[in-house]
Amino acid sequence: MEKIRWKNSLSVGIELIDNQHKQWIEHYNNIVESLTSQQDRAQISKTLGFLIDYTEGHLSSEEKYMTANKYAGLPEHKAKHDELRATLSALVKEFEEEGATTQLSKAVDTFLGHWLINHIQEVDMKFGAFVRENKIVLS
Ligand code: FEO
């Protein structure tokens, strides 16, 4: 399980969204740190809670901008967000039932870390291009 480092190839070209992604990555890295350093259950639970809250805030924010600007790719993009919401719920359930197992760490790495990078580079990038092409100012 590795932390994610911000790099330019993750930029969607929209500062507001990039900043949210940087914060998102920081929350992801915090849960990686909590799991790899085997922090106590209460701390892991707290860190996981912060990640979930931030994730929901970010996904809702993007969906709000897509709706407000009549982005045609919204249904497809939102479906991906809903996949992540379901994955996070499953991870939390697993943590509550089994604790911080090796299996949970693998799931965080595979279903969350890899998902996050792929989503930014493939799905969010398209929305970033739409915002830039249409000279939309997000605020
Ligand atoms: Fe940045 Fe579509 O999540």
- For residue 83, the 8-state DSSP code is H
* SS percent in the chain: helix, strand, coil, step 5: 80, 0, 20
pLDDT digits 0-9 by tens, 102-135 = 999 998 998 899 999 999 999 999 999 999 999 9
Looking from the CA of residue 59, the nearest atom of ligand 1 is: 3
Question: Ligand 1 centre from 40 Cα, in Å?
Answer: 30
Task: Give the chain's radius of gyration (CA, Å).
Answer: 15
Q: What is the pTM of this model?
A: 0.95
Question: Ligand 1 centre from 35 Cα, in Å?
Answer: 24
Cβ–ligand 1 contact at 18 (below 6 Å): no
DSSP 87-119: HHHHHHHHHHHH-S-HHHHHHIIIIIIIHHHHI
Neighbours of 82 (CB within 10 A): 11
Give the whole-angstrom CA distance, residue 50 versus residue 68: 27
Looking from the CA of residue 24, the nearest atom of ligand 1 is: 1
Looking from the CA of residue 124, the nearest atom of ligand 1 is: 2
Overall size of the chain counted in residues: 139
Cβ–ligand 1 contact at 116 (below 6 Å): no
Cβ–ligand 1 contact at 123 (below 6 Å): yes
Give residue 111's pLDDT. 85
Return phi, psi of residue 15, to 5°: -60, -45
pLDDT digits 0-9 by tens, 64-107 = 999 999 999 999 999 999 999 999 999 999 999 999 999 999 98
If you average pLDDT over every residue of the chain, what do you get?
A: 95
Cβ–ligand 1 contact at 27 (below 6 Å): no
